[in-house]
Chain A
Amino acid sequence: MTACTRGTFLALTFVAAVCLGQAARSADAAAPAHYVLDQGKSSLTFSFVQAGAQNQGHFARFPVTLDFSPDNPAAGHLEVSVEMGSLDSGDKERDDTLRGDDLFAVTKFPQAHFSATQFVKTASGFEAVGKLTIRGVTRDARVPFAFRTASENGATVGYMTGKTSIKRLDYGVGQGDWKSTEQVGNDVGVTFALRLTGH
């Protein structure tokens, strides 16, 4: 091999490598970004009617992983695991009752899950279509949300917010006396504001 042909070969290899690299990068852009929850800056609250009055509580731990790109919502994937024992309704006696067998039964069902692999663009944002499991009961659920990304200190951060409503008795949350909706309403509002960091 002459010096000239070797030079050409190297140049071609270089060009090929650059092309491949760019192809790989554009494949990256099409794939959804991967996020995990920033627990300290996120909230998951629930509201309910107790004895005719609005009450609320929140969960302290609810790991989330999200693969999502607003340009390509169809490729999204969301997994939420709520640590039911981490609930806090602002009243110890009520928290113990909520953790008890007739309500969340946290010993037997320590986590609630939401898993969505289908995402739809809506007029006001997106909708995650998936399965919600609470107290061992799984049902189809659609959760509307808004999503935006921001660049913070050079890192990509996702903000996912929304609210939805579920019927507690659909999931068996309320056995015995708690099946009655006279003192505690069936409708439970769920509000979330998540800060997700890119990975």
Chain B
Amino acid sequence: MAVRNTIHRWGAVSQLLHWLIVVLIVVQVTLGTWAADLPAGSKKLGLLARHKSVGITILVLVTLRLLWRWANPTPALPPTLKTWEQKVARVTHVLLYLLLFAQPLSGWMMSSARGFPVSWFGFFQLPDLVPKSKPLYEALLTTHGLLAWVLYAVVALHVAAALKHHFMLRDDVLRRMLPFTSTPGRKP
């Protein structure tokens, strides 16, 4: 598999970043929802510390991913798509990128507003993004929770579309993001 993208297929770097972020989002949702149900205590503190560290990791990975995307060709959408379908696909992808930035940033700001600085796995402490403020913390807490639901909805749409392409339209849209697969007839 090529390291760089082609107009037909995602390269190794894009695939690695895509699937790594998928795994980390699953970890994030697990840690976040688990911690939210716990009473204040050492366990909650530990889960939230990891949640914050993983969130910062995603923020870095999505930044790298966008940079890599700009420096590489982007595989083209299948020509069989109608114009509105192409538009929906583009909007979905833009929303996914936006949410992958907005979620870690809203979480980070929320920690700053609460007055609990963020550390990346205990290795280093990040600066506070906003001053300490209770109303701001509460607004960001609500935002962070709402954005999570928006993310679930957009991810559901993204997954449904990928599965539709693979099983119903039988094109290579899903396969070109999967390692160890070939994209027949599309080899450059």
Q: Indicate which residue in B42, B48, B118, B119 contacts A178 across the interface (CB closer than 8 Å).
A: B42
* Residues of A within 8 A of B (CB-CB), count: 19
Given contacts A51-B48, A52-B49, A90-B132, contact A184 B42 (CB under 8 A): yes
Chain B residues contacting A55 (CB-CB under 8 Å) are 115-117
Produce 1/0 per residue, A94-129, CB < 8 A to B: 101100000000000000000000000000000000
Assess the A50–B45 pair: CB atoms within 8 A: yes
Chain A residues contacting B125 (CB-CB under 8 Å) are 52-54
Chain B residues contacting A52 (CB-CB under 8 Å) are 49, 53, 119-123, 125
B135 located at the interface, meaning its Cβ lies under 8 Å from any Cβ of chain A in the complex:
no
What separation, in Å, do the CA atoms of A53 and B111 have in the docked complex?
11
* Residues of B within 8 A of A (CB-CB), count: 22
A152 located at the interface, meaning its Cβ lies under 8 Å from any Cβ of chain B in the complex:
no
Tell me the smallest distance from the CB of A52 to a CB of chain B, in Å: 3
What separation, in Å, do the CA atoms of A91 and B40 have in the docked complex?
12
Assess the A51–B119 pair: CB atoms within 8 A: yes
- Tell me which residues from 105 to 142 in chain B have a Cβ below 8 Å from any Cβ of chain A: 114-123, 125, 132
Q: Indicate which residue in A51, A180, A182 contacts B116 across the interface (CB closer than 8 Å).
A: A51
- Tell me which residues from 73 to 100 in chain A have a Cβ below 8 Å from any Cβ of chain B: 90-91, 93-94, 96-97
Q: Indicate which residue in A51, A91, A184 contacts B115 across the interface (CB closer than 8 Å).
A: A91
Produce 1/0 per residue, B34-74, CB < 8 A to A: 00000011110110110011000000000000000000000
What separation, in Å, do the CA atoms of A133 and B171 have in the docked complex?
73
What separation, in Å, do the CA atoms of A91 and B133 have in the docked complex?
10
Tell me the smallest distance from the CB of B48 to a CB of chain A, in Å: 7
Produce 1/0 per residue, B92-112, CB < 8 A to A: 000000000000000000000
CB closest chain-A residue, reference B137: A91
Assess the A97–B46 pair: CB atoms within 8 A: no
Chain A residues contacting B40 (CB-CB under 8 Å) are 93-94, 96-97
Chain A residues contacting B123 (CB-CB under 8 Å) are 52
Assess the A50–B46 pair: CB atoms within 8 A: no
Chain A residues contacting B45 (CB-CB under 8 Å) are 50-51, 183-184
Produce 1/0 per residue, A161-199, CB < 8 A to B: 000000000000000111010111000000000000000
What separation, in Å, do the CA atoms of A96 and B53 have in the docked complex?
26
Tell me the smallest distance from the CB of B166 to a CB of chain A, in Å: 41
Assess the A183–B46 pair: CB atoms within 8 A: yes
Given contacts A50-B116, A52-B49, A91-B114, contact A183 B121 (CB under 8 A): no
Given contacts A51-B48, A53-B125, contact A183 B116 (CB under 8 A): no
Q: Indicate which residue in A53, A178, A182, A184 contacts B117 across the interface (CB closer than 8 Å).
A: A53
CB closest chain-B residue, reference A180: B42
Assess the A91–B42 pair: CB atoms within 8 A: no
- Tell me which residues from 8 to 36 in chain A have a Cβ below 8 Å from any Cβ of chain B: none
Chain B residues contacting A97 (CB-CB under 8 Å) are 40-41
- Tell me which residues from 136 to 180 in chain A have a Cβ below 8 Å from any Cβ of chain B: 176-178, 180
CB<8 Å pairs between A and B, sample of 26: A50-B45, A51-B45, A51-B49, A51-B116, A51-B122, A52-B119, A52-B120, A52-B123, A52-B125, A53-B116, A53-B117, A53-B118, A53-B119, A55-B117, A90-B115, A94-B40, A97-B40, A97-B41, A176-B42, A177-B43, A180-B42, A182-B46, A183-B42, A183-B45, A183-B49, A184-B45
Give 13 new A-B contacts, CB below 8 A, not counting A52-B122, A180-B42.
Answer: A50-B45, A52-B125, A53-B117, A53-B118, A53-B119, A55-B115, A55-B117, A94-B40, A177-B43, A178-B42, A183-B42, A183-B46, A183-B49
